[in-house]
């Protein structure tokens, strides 16, 4: 079982690079030891590069490509592009908020999210971060993370708001989100704050890359009662991963097929139980009226 606790998962680019380099070496029928005899790199270092546990440099990758007899210019440039992309990924936009992010073990999630193309998410208790208003986010972070100083709370609010830029541009992140009715009935902050949050969700329903469903109370017991989860898809050939959030940032990332398939089946089960997008819009409109002054 592939699981990582409290560790930032490798970037999608690093995983792709690891697969490419391993395949190229195996195509030449060279062992790790045979490669290290020809290239100035230790066997353990090369092994970690091929598993994606560490990054590398264009200089070393060029030496490996030479060793593997890769002369095609397009192939070489494709592999080197993965190296450059992974290096850029190590200098993310959220670095300036590193102190607060490290406190919450948030960096691993952001690393994956920034490379994802499609989210399937279930949230039983709160509005998902990508669809939160700034006021809602501030209230949630301040209450859930009581140990954070006000400046750390504000830093995390800024990160959450900047994350939402993933939904903008020519190629936005695609979302399919199922929100339990409990997360909408639970008042966070003032009545006005909650009304604005639900209105924000109602507008998100009309976003071309967002599909939103509400799971009503009358759906009864279901698989989602065990907690929230996110299934992230990436560009081919990188497989999906599942991110499961636990209390105090003790999160788990699964990338083995068995676990990913199990969560995908659970999501499909919840999707069938939830109100469809048109009914969800109607219910959000009704909730907005209930919270009117």
Q: What CATH number corresponds to the domain at position 18?
A: 1.10.260.40
Per-residue model confidence as pLDDT tens digits over 253-273: 787 889 899 999 999 999 999
Per-residue model confidence as pLDDT tens digits over 133-175: 999 999 999 998 888 899 999 999 999 999 999 999 888 999 9
Which candidate, 113, 117, 21, 105, places its Cα nearest to that of 68?
21
The residue among 31, 63, 89 that closes a domain is: 89
Residue ranges making up the domain that contains 226: 104-132+166-290
The residue among 55, 89, 123 that closes a domain is: 89
Distances (CA, A) of 152 to 147, 157, 164: 10, 9, 19
Does a structural domain hold residue 277?
yes
- Strands (DSSP E) contained in the chain are 3-5, 118-123, 174-180, 210-215, 229-233, 241-244, 252-254
Same domain, 109 and 223: yes
Number of domains composing the chain: 2
Confidence grade of residue 21 (pLDDT, cut at 50, 70, 90):
very high
Does a structural domain hold residue 254?
yes
Per-residue model confidence as pLDDT tens digits over 71-116: 999 889 988 888 887 776 666 666 677 666 765 656 678 878 888 8
Does a structural domain hold residue 84?
yes
Q: Three-state DSSP class for 141?
A: helix
Q: Three-state DSSP class for 63?
A: helix
Q: Cβ(243)–Cβ(253) under 8 Å?
A: yes
Same domain, 222 and 80: no
Per-residue model confidence as pLDDT tens digits over 212-222: 999 999 888 88
Same domain, 250 and 170: yes
pTM (two decimals):
0.72
Per the prediction, the chain carries an average pLDDT of 86
């Amino acid at each position: 079982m592939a699981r990582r606790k409290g560790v930032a998962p490798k970037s999608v680019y690093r995983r792709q690079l690891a697969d490419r380099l391993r395949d190229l070496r195996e195509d030449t029928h060279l062992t790790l030891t045979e490669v290290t005899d020809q290239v100035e790199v230790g066997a353990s270092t090369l092994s970690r590069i091929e598993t994606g546990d560490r990054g590398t440099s264009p200089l070393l990758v060029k030496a490996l490509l030479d060793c593997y007899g890769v002369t095609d210019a397009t192939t070489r440039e494709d592999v080197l592009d993965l190296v450059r992309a992974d290096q850029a990924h190590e200098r993310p936009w959220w670095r300036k908020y590193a102190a607060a992010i490290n406190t919450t073990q948030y960096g691993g999630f952001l690393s994956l999210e920034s490379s994802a193309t499609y989210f399937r998410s279930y949230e039983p208790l709160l509005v998902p971060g990508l669809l939160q208003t700034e006021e809602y986010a501030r209230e949630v972070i301040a209450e859930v993370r009581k140990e954070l100083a006000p400046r750390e709370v504000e830093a995390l609010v800024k990160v959450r708001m900047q994350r939402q830029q993933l939904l903008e541009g020519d190629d936005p992140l695609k979302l399919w989100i199922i929100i339990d009715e409990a997360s909408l009935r639970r008042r966070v902050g003032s009545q006005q704050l909650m009304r604005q949050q639900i209105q924000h969700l109602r507008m998100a329903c009309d976003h071309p890359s967002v599909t939103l469903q509400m799971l009503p109370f009358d759906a009864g017991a279901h698989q989602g009662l065990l907690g929230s989860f996110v299934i992230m898809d990436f560009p081919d050939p990188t497989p999906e991963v599942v991110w499961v959030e636990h209390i105090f940032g003790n999160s788990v990332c699964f990338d083995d097929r068995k676990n990913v398939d199990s969560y995908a089946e659970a999501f499909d089960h919840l999707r069938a139980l939830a109100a469809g997008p048109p009914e969800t819009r109607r219910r959000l409109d009704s909730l907005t009226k209930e919270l009117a002054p």
